[in-house]
Structure 1
Amino acid sequence: MESPAAKSKYHKDRVVQALRASNWQRENGRIQLRELIQNFISFFSGGFSDVRLELLTQSHAQIEGAIRSLFRADRGVHPLWCILFAWFAESCEAIRHASQPVRRERSAPLTSEELTGLMAQFGTVTGVANALALNVAAVSVLCKRYGIQASWRPKHIDQSITEEVVAAFRQGSSPAEIQKRYRISRTAVYRIAAAVPDIVTPARRRVLSRTDAAKSHWLTARVQYPDLPDTTLRRMLPAVWAQLRRNAPDWLCETRRVATKLSPKKGRPEPSQPLLGQLEQAISAAEARCDKDNSLPGHKSLYRLRRLTGLSDYAFQATNHCLGNPRITESRIHFVRRRCIWAQSRLNPTSRSLWRVARTARLRPDSIRQAVSHFDANKRSSR
């Protein structure tokens, strides 16, 4: 009985699961696209004798389109891509990156009624702090803010000093000046300020001033460039965006603008025909250098052709598929055959033994035997 296609390891969903298990898709759902394409090309480079498969597995555009279709439920993908990506996921695993810490949302502060009920239940500030997983200082600040009675230990700072500190803050004094004037710690000064929500410290006042200036600058840029999305404005004004992202994230989210239209994708221009003609002549000359009669034949690999023509790897890969006869790496069997033919032409017909041919061609005798058996099998199958 045949098993259903959904249980096959080459099914689209199973292939996606295999890529996720190999860490090519992170926990946050993002695909490591650039690393995936590079490793996919390297994995299948020179792995197929069929020109069509070789071109398919070496094309950035084709691979990227297949990956995006594979990870989208509303798109179909050719079964050949499922097989290739399943093989790739079984053999190649992505390097794990340190996961980014999840940003926790700030919880709303306790209300006066909630804190009063918790104090009546636990009785002490420490008990409430342990129940809410907060520090004692935060609970103490909330009790002072709402005027809730608690069992405080005797302190140097009484109610009169607290009122004087609050008045000094409202007059514009800095925490350092208040600390020196009343001879209390800087932590005590900030706790008193935190207990009164309407107090704005000089440092906070400066931050608010810079934030207001950044908001004005951001809105001016929007008016000046009405067609640009926020992502482009962020790249144009990184310092302004950082100031708003740090000190006014809610305002930034509320006033966010989404792009209304997308710019058309620019394709890569095709090489000119005269340039392709010159490239064809250069590659033909490089192949002829590998077949010189007076020298040992060389392997016609893409690497050797690229080195002989003086092209970079990017230029060769980008223009090779545009040629009338795209080049592929010569197979090992054909390379051994050319070496043997060259060696036999230089030996006496009476002394063409296997070890002499191998020594002249600089090959191992086993390599020659494998090539001969391969061509004999092809002859028998063609009959």
Structure 2
Amino acid sequence: MTTRPDVRAAIVAGSIVAFVGFGFAATFGVFLRPMSEELGWGREVFSLSMAIQALCWGVTQPLAGMVADRFGTARVLAFGAIVSALGFFLRGTVIDPTVFVASGVIVGIGTGACSFPVVIVALGKVVEAKQRSFVLGLGTAAASTGMFVAAPLSSFLLNMVGWQNSILVIAASFLLILPTLVFIARVSKPTASDAGGHGFGFAVRTALSDRSYVLLFLGFFVCGFHVAFIQTHLPAYIADKGLAPIIGAWSLGLIGLFNIAGSFLSGWSGQRYSKKSVLAGIYFTRAIVIALFILLPLTNFSVYLFSAAIGLLWLSTVPLTTGLVAQTQGLRFLSTLAGLVFFSHQTGAFIGAWLGGRIHDTTGDYTMMWWTAIALALLATLLHIPIKEEPGKLARAEI
């Protein structure tokens, strides 16, 4: 790890941003069942808001990356934190299904601008190439730690103060990001400050002409589908099967806990082994884990075992995918191009979150969704095999 004090401080600050910015947003599915039952909403209402949130996150991500590349990351993160707080404040104060669905736009824009991908890309630029995978893994692990803490804390708050006050606590938590940004601003400098619209347009067109980048783009769609479906609907699925609701909350917490190890392992593996091969292995293993989960009897133990296994595979795709974007496309437009890949991720998240609610309301269970997740995992495995781990045209232009 670099010994520069300002970089170390920025890494700590970035980890705090990832912790706060991701935790509650990723575990908000804990609120699905209690809110839907108390308010008399079908699950599609909640699911649609989460799906719109994911999609708006995805649309915002490349735009946020473009602004970060040109003007620096701290401003983007500050904007995102304030907008996220506003979106959750509306969710906790205005009881109306239309407003709740529409709040997904505000929360999505906010979390897209202050999410951990924006942070880890910024940190990845200020460390040496040999340290990049580890730092990307560290930032992802910090986000996972937030998920581990937020899931049981949300369940505790639900029981103690109700869903409305709990959501207001979530809104306030995003404001904790603001004081940390001074440390990130000191090291996160613009890398494309001299690039006009033509420069960004050329970068995107060049990347999209690279088959390896396109395959990463398509593969990350599957990751988003898995993550959004599971984090939105797993607690409700578990409660539907007759297990205690707290088991569902702890399932998300365990996913976050084991993803800490998975993220570090992913970052470490990306420094030593073929990133595309590790990614293909992650998606293939996901297919096996999900299949075993739905085929074996559901018990507390099987839920915890599934959560631990899927947690190891959860966001372990992020440092590897981001690392491959940097490796194949270079650093100058990394925030922009990594953000575009995250748009694909969040498009998959939109479909995973919304379709889960739609299928449940139509069929009464999630069986079709689980098998779709398995099929997509196998498809993603195949998509990563042809990727070439060498600098593309855009990266070679920086040399």
- TM bin, normalised by shorter chain, reads under 0.3
What TM-score results when the alignment is normalised by the length of structure 2?
Answer: 0.21
Higher helix share: 2
* Higher relative contact order structure (alpha carbons within 8 Å, sequence separation ≥ 6): 2
What TM-score results when the alignment is normalised by the length of structure 1?
Answer: 0.22
